[in-house]
Amino acid sequence: MDYEDHLEQSKVQQSRLKGALSFRSKDIGNYTVGRTLGKGSCAVVKLGIHRDTGKQVAIKIMKPRSLREQKEALREVEALNRLSHPNITRLHQVIREEGYTCLILELGVGGELFERVMDCGKIPEGEARVLFRQILSGVQYMHANLVAHRDLKPENLLLDEYGNIKISDFGLSNIIKPGKLFSTWCGSPVYTPPEVVLRQQYNGIAMDIWSLGVILYVMVTGGMPWRLESNVVKNIDDLIEGNYDIPDFLNVSKDCKELIGMMLVADGTKRASLEQLMNHKWTCAGFEGAPASFIEPKPLVNVINENAFAQLEGLGYDLEVARKQIQTVPTSPALTAYYHLLAKHRRLQKVNSCSPEDAKLVNSPDQYLNTISRTRSKSHPTPKSPLATRKISLSSLDTKIDISLDEEKPSSKKKEKSILRTLLDRFRKPSAKRNSREVPRPVSMVVAHNSPSPPSRRRY
Ligand code: ADP
């Protein structure tokens, strides 16, 4: 990513953050809004206290203005709706108010892993192992549910009151499609793999694994694998070629170095799989085995739908092994992935056997639609529209259109964007101008000589 791109992206993000910061209300739904917990690239996150129960939550406030921002907000909801794991921030509710989209999230009271690293200098390997096992467990679960995070970094790894990991910020996540690569450039440059930096098409799973490598490096060394200057990788060739060093004086164990080396592999196709990482000797040392898999048991498959099953190959599964697993292991990632593929296959079958209008309604995840309609605020009644007679609210419909955008099909994307634009125009209400105060974000960076650069806090 060159400097011009950086500037352009920062400008867009600053304006998005400014929009979110203009939120002034003292209440959102049943929650009283409290202090600011953090600011991201496009959202402000505040403490929320439930008025009846006193339960504390985090409220992520966004003000999506363009279609792209709308799409990102909805992606985060779609991804979180698929996930229920002890190390992944849970989404409780979505509230839309006066142009703001507010995600009511499980609270990560212990702050960011980034802060922990900054406080400790580096995290002792024993503690780093416990945290990394939780991260691996969460990432395995999300990948099995076909979600690629695409922005894994210590700032997005929160801690709860017991110091357990909560993976957060799914704003750049996307649904993994078998055999399809992503092409949208995203992530934070210092945590993104060479193929993304080089703007090539990339595999979301391999991208996350590279980021895990940088995260483990940061945890056990307290620095970055690449030398940074003004928060930008100084010698981009180092990153592109996967050249990094772990100085001896940092006393990182041989096994840990080996594990990092399995993730920071320049060629994405040669990076270790999550299974290899979870079963590596460093990961398992002192434990009975690999990190716990929280993949919910699913009914085993007796009669295999071969069309859906064949797509597992496009997700990187060995079909012979996967066939056995989906028939014998109720908690296998392959079985979870198979069920997602089967659901998609069935939706597509329905699409092919109905009119184009109905097809659009069918091709949307029901679970997601339910959440949005459940939490819809009374101030946004469902507009009267011929489409409303299809037993589906317009709020759900715009959601559906957005999340069904196909990155690989520009023509369908264009068409759906124009439909979404029309629907959003109908929704748009004139909102009172508010005073906004932008709080400058400190960017501190000290590059130590002969030691890895400290991790960058800058948000891209
Ligand atoms: P963005 O998508 O704009 O980058 P994030 O989701 O990363 O925003 O949130 C920004 C910051 O807010 C985080 O780095 C963190 O400090 C804080 N934050 C986010 N989610 C939570 C949460 N669930 N609990 C506590 N703090 C949170």
Coil, strand or helix at 271 = coil
At a CB cut-off of 8 Å and minimum separation 6, what does 28 contact?
48, 59, 61, 95, 97, 102, 104
pLDDT band at 69 (very low <50, low <70, confident <90, very high): confident
**Is it the case that residue 6 has pLDDT exceeding 60?**
no
Ligand 1 binding site (Cβ under 6 Å of any ligand atom):
37-43, 45, 58, 60, 89, 105-108, 112, 155-156, 158, 168-169, 171, 459
- Percent of the chain predicted with pLDDT > 90: 51
C-beta of residue 235 within 8 angstroms of C-beta of residue 258: no
State the pLDDT at residue 246: 95
Total count of residues recorded for the chain: 460
SS3 content of the chain, % helix, strand, coil (to 5): 45, 15, 40
Residue ranges of the domains in the chain?
18-105, 113-294, 297-374
pLDDT band at 437 (very low <50, low <70, confident <90, very high): very low
C-beta of residue 220 within 8 angstroms of C-beta of residue 122: yes
**pTM across the whole model:** 0.74
C-beta of residue 134 within 8 angstroms of C-beta of residue 212: no
**46 CA distance to ligand 1 centroid (A)?**
9
Concatenating the DSSP letter of every residue in 292-334 gives PP-PPP-PPPSS--HHHHHGGGGGT--HHHHHHHHHH-TT-HH
pLDDT digits (tens, 9 = 90+) for 137-154: 999 999 999 999 999 999
Q: Which ligand 1 atom is at minimum distance from the Cα of 43?
A: 3
**Is it the case that residue 130 has pLDDT exceeding 60?**
yes
State the pLDDT at residue 251: 94
- Position of tokens 């403490």? 47
Domain 18-105 superfamily per CATH = Phosphorylase Kinase; domain 1 (3.30.200.20)
- Mean pLDDT of all residues in the chain? 78
**Residue of 151, 169, 208, 402 with catalytic role:** 151
CATH fold of 113-294, please?
Transferase(Phosphotransferase); domain 1 (1.10.510)
Q: How far is CA 99 from CA 64, 284, 384, in A?
A: 8, 47, 19
At a CB cut-off of 8 Å and minimum separation 6, what does 80 contact?
88, 89, 90, 91, 103, 105, 170
